[in-house]
C-alpha cells in the first residue's frame, strides 16, 4: 500500500492524487525541435550550411515533429479517458449494490475496488487506497474527477458528492447516475459514428487536392515550360517585329508556382487535420494527429514524384 508523502511546508500528498500529464513537456520539446529545424532551414537557405535536404524539407519535418508527438499523445490520452468512462457505469452500479447492503459510500468504494473495470481499475484502487488512509469519500471522488477531468466524470462525481452530503439513500442516486452515464456514452458513440463520415470526406477531399497538384505539376507546368521555350525560339527566328502583339510565356515563374502549390498543400494538411479532429472529437489537439498524417503523406508523395 502506498505511503503518504510530505512535501515542503508539511503539506500531505495523498497517495494516488498526483496527476501525470506530460502534454506540456511533449509540446515544449516539439516546439523546440521545430524552432531548431527552422534555424537549420534558414542557414541552408542563406548558404551558410550545406544540408542533405532542401531548406523547405527541414521546415516540413519540423512541422511534423511539432504536431505529431503532441497529437498522438493527446489522442492516446483521450482514448484512455473514454475507456475509463465506458466502465464507470459498471463501477457505480456495484457501489450502489454494496450501498443497499447497509455500507457507507466509503466502504462501498473499497469493496468495489476488488472488481475488474478495465482501464478504470487503477483509478478505483487509487480511490480505495486514499479512503483507507483516512481520506473522506467525497475528497477521493473529487481527486478522481481532477485526474480524469472530463465533463461526464466531473458531472457524475459532483452529483454523488452532493447526494452524500445531503444524506439519504445514496444507492438510488448512484443507480440513476450510472444509467445517465450509460445513456450519455451511447449518445456520444452515435455522434462519433456520424462524424466519422465527415472525417472521411475531409480525407478524400485532401487526397483529391493532392492528385490535382500532382497532375498540374507533372503535366500542365511542363507543357507550359515547353510552350514558352518554343515560343521564345520562334520569336528569335522570325523576329519580334513580325510576331506582332503575340506575348511570350514567362517560364521563370514556374518554380514560384510549384512552390505556391507546396505551400497550399501544407496549409491544407494542417487545416484539414485540425478540422477533422474538431468534427470527430471536438478537440484541436487531437486534430493534430490527422495533420501529421496528412503532412507525412503529402511530403512523401511530392518528394517521391518530383524529388
Q: Taking the CA atoms of the chain, what radius of gyration do you get in angstroms?
A: 30
What pLDDT does 245 receive? 47
Rounded distance, CA 142 to CA 288, Å? Answer: 31
Give the pLDDT of residue 7.
Answer: 43
Report the pLDDT value the prediction gives residue 168, as an integer from 0 to 100. Answer: 65
pLDDT of residue 210: 92
pLDDT of residue 236: 65
pLDDT on residue 1? 45
**Residue-level pLDDT at 207:** 93
Give the three cell numbers for residue 121: 481499475
Q: Cβ atoms within 10 A of the Cβ of 302, count? A: 20
- Closest by CA position to 295, among listed 99, 67, 131: 67
How much is the pLDDT for 111? 87
Q: Which residues in the chain show pLDDT less than 70?
A: 1-20, 168, 230, 232-251, 306-307
Q: Report the pLDDT value the prediction gives residue 240, as an integer from 0 to 100.
A: 52
Provide the pLDDT for residue 294. 94
Domain limits of the chain?
Answer: 189-239+248-306
CA nearest neighbour of 24 among 204, 257, 285? 285
pLDDT in tens, 65-80: 999 999 999 999 888 8
pLDDT of residue 55: 87
Amino acid at each position: 500500500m502506498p505511503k503518504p508523502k510530505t512535501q515542503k511546508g508539511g503539506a500531505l500528498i495523498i497517495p494516488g492524487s498526483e496527476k501525470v500529464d506530460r502534454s506540456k513537456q511533449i509540446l515544449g520539446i516539439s516546439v523546440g525541435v521545430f524552432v531548431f529545424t527552422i534555424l537549420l532551414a534558414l542557414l541552408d537557405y542563406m548558404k551558410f550550411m550545406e544540408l542533405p535536404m532542401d531548406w523547405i524539407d527541414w521546415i516540413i519535418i519540423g512541422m511534423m515533429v511539432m504536431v505529431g508527438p503532441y497529437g498522438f499523445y493527446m489522442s492516446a490520452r483521450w482514448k484512455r479517458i473514454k475507456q475509463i468512462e465506458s466502465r464507470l457505469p459498471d463501477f457505480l452500479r456495484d457501489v450502489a449494490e454494496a450501498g443497499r447492503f447497509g455500507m457507507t459510500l466509503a466502504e462501498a468504494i473499497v469493496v468495489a475496488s476488488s472488481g475488474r473495470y478495465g482501464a478504470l481499475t487503477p483509478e478505483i484502487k487509487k480511490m480505495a487506497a486514499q479512503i483507507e488512509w483516512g481520506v473522506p469519500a467525497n475528497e477521493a471522488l473529487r481527486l478522481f474527477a481532477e485526474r480524469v477531468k472530463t465533463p461526464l466524470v466531473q458531472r457524475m462525481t459532483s452529483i454523488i458528492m452532493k447526494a452524500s452530503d445531503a444524506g439519504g439513500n445514496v444507492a438510488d442516486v448512484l443507480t440513476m447516475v450510472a444509467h445517465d452515464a450509460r445513456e450519455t456514452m451511447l449518445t456520444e458513440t452515435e455522434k462519433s459514428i456520424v462524424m466519422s463520415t465527415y472525417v472521411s470526406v475531409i480525407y478524400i477531399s485532401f487526397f483529391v487536392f493532392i492528385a490535382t497538384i500532382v497532375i498540374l505539376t507533372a503535366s500542365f507546368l511542363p507543357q507550359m515550360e515547353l510552350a514558352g521555350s518554343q515560343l521564345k525560339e520562334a520569336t528569335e527566328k522570325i523576329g519580334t517585329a513580325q510576331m506582332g502583339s503575340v506575348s511570350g510565356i514567362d517560364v521563370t515563374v514556374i518554380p514560384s508556382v510549384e512552390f505556391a502549390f507546396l505551400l497550399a498543400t501544407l496549409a491544407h494538411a494542417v487545416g484539414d487535420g485540425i478540422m477533422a479532429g474538431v468534427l470527430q472529437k471536438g478537440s484541436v489537439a487531437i486534430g493534430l494527429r490527422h495533420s501529421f498524417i496528412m503532412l507525412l503523406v503529402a511530403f512523401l508523395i511530392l518528394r517521391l514524384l518530383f524529388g
